[in-house]
Amino acid sequence: MSAGGSVVIRGGEVVDATGVHRADVLVGAGIVQVVEESLGVPPGALVLDAGGCLVAPALVDLHTHLREPGAEQAETIESGSRAAALGGYSAVVAMPNTTPAIDCASVVRDVRALAHGALVDVAVAAAITVGRAGERLVPFAELAELGVRLFTDDGAGVQDAGLLRRALEYAGDLGVVLAEHCEDASLAKGGLMHEGAWSSRLGVPGQPALAEEVMLSRDLALVRLTGTPMHFLHLSTAGSIRLLAEARAEGLPVTAEVTPHHLSLTDAELSSFDAVFKVNPPLRSEGDVAALRRACADGLIDAIATDHAPHPREAKEAPLEDAPPGMLGLETALSVAWGALVESGLISAARLFSLFTVQPARIAGLGAHGGPIAAGRPAQLCVFDPAERVLVEPERSASRSANTPFGGRWLTGKVRHTLVHGEPVVIDGKAQR
């Protein structure tokens, strides 16, 4: 922070849920003080140049794998939070598939303690079942009392429908949200990529779209039965979008996210047999990608979430059948989605930022994040240059891992500055601590 304790963001276009307008932004004491077309600079204030840039609420990620505790060789909360800040985020939701799993109060407290000093706010999601084993429910009431908002066995779907029904009933009573990874294990078993023309051509075992759609259909039926809201993680198929559209038309209380990689990459990438393109759910067909993009434009999708999943280099260099699924996403998410949705003319910049900010913040219950940019609001801000071209260099990632599928590719758009609770944690594309 500057010596005077205030920051002026000058020369940008402010974009939030209220629209787009030319304005400077004065930040002080952790909040937005003034938003006006032209501001003077208070003595001692730090001036951040936003010329040619969009000044938006900082991003919120519903789906981040920070790996700590248990897999610190891939990522730590500190390194992951640095990647998030560089990507324009002020808050992330840490997934519970750690070792041990985040399935009890003591581990929630431990992860929160590890997050002290992180560059961004880290909200903790808890598992739905003990050890994510799909057999016994976690102590929902105790964890909700601690402030846990999202519960998920991400990495696996809850296979037992009766158990998930009970979980929904508990969630409804407590006002928390279940976030489901839709994957029927019996249908997905052995699949290394999307089942389709490319898997047949390559002779690689495929995972059918039906594996996702069968569980999504079941879960929608359980929402209908219980009346309890549910969030669906990383939907990836055209069939899932059709089911989601039907559920919305019926008025079911459901939300859904997609990932930048499912909006931009297809199963054809696996023709290289490079495990950096192995992810779960798998990269799908061109038709699926088109359906996901249309769903973002039509308002069916509520959030773009990274599913940031770091893995050590040696793990991703293993043969395709042995390598773990997962991709980095925090540093590239906004640029990838900008190219897939805004540059293509499908949606406006304001709509894109709503998918990254206010809507995921609402789902996660993070009221201090997501905007709007207005006097008196917490100063979580992202300054994004939509014209700058950036070469993705995996070895320069802030993450401890390098498994980005965009390595060696040029992307359009770069985060110039990020402020979290009024503190500039990224200035001119460089983390400040």
Active-site residue list: 307
Residue 415: strand pairing partners: 384
Distance separating alpha carbons of residues 316 and 275, to the nearest angstrom: 6
Question: Closest Cα partner for 399 from 75, 183, 138?
Answer: 75
Q: In Å, how far are 44, 157, 257, 337 from 236, measured between CA atoms?
A: 49, 15, 9, 15
- 173 is written with which tokens? 């009573």
CB 191 within 8 A of CB 164: no
- Helix (H), strand (E), coil (C) string for the chain: CCCCCEEEEECCEEEECCEEEECEEEEECCEEEEEECCCCCCCCCEEEECCCCEEEECEEEEEECCCCCCCCCCCCHHHHHHHHHHCCEEEEEECCCCCCCCCCHHHHHHHHHHCCCCCCEEEECECCEHHHCCCCECCHHHHHHCCCCEECCCCCCCCCHHHHHHHHHHHHHHCCEEEECCCCHHHHCCCCEECCHHHHHHCCCEECHHHHHHHHHHHHHHHHHHCCCEEECCCCCHHHHHHHHHHHHHCCCEEEEECHHHHHCCHHHHHHCCHHHCCCCCCCCHHHHHHHHHHHHHCCCCEECCCECCCCHHHHCCCCCCCCCCECCCCCHHHHHHHHHHCCCCCCHHHHHHHHCHHHHHHHCCCCCCCCCCCCCECCEEEEEEEEEEECCHHHCCCCCCCCCCCCCEEEEEEEEEEECCEEEEECCEECC
Q: In Å, how far are 148, 224, 250 from 169, measured between CA atoms?
A: 16, 12, 20
